[in-house]
Structure 1
């Protein structure tokens, strides 16, 4: 006798896994957004000498600082 998983059982199992991992994804996204905000604040504080040392132009800095935290 061959056993197969019905599509309903598969979908229920997948939904349960998705719901269980959702809080972890939310926390991971919040942490990523916080790192972006922090690094952009640091970038904004760099003077032109430090930007040149890092190989970042004023245009690149402006472009990065213009992005919303979720991108």
Structure 2
């Protein structure tokens, strides 16, 4: 019985790259969250003239800046 369980686990990750995939996905997700947080921080720092140039009001910018970093509009 013990050998069968070990074989099942070994068969699941038969290639070393399969072990790395979850870590890569996690790394990409963490990077994306950091980018979102940074972009929202920079958006909150823009002046009224800069916001007007991109077609946003101060209220729009603050609303976006207050969203949590995990709230990714591209993931929906």
Alignment TM-score, normalising by the size of structure 1: 0.68
Q: How many residues align?
A: 60
What is residue 38 of structure 2 aligned with on the other side? 38
Q: Structure 1 stretches (4+) deviating beyond 6 angstroms?
A: none
Superposed CA deviations along residues 34-65 of structure 1, whole A, max 9, x for unmatched, are 11111111101101110000111222212211
CA-based RMSD of the aligned residues comes to 2.2
C-alpha separation in 1, matches of 2:37 and 2:58: 18
5+ residue gaps, structure 2, are 1-7, 72-76
Q: Secondary structure at the match of 1:36?
A: helix
**Structure 1 residue runs without a partner (length 5+):** 1-7
Question: C-alpha distance in 2, partners of 1:18/1:64?
Answer: 37
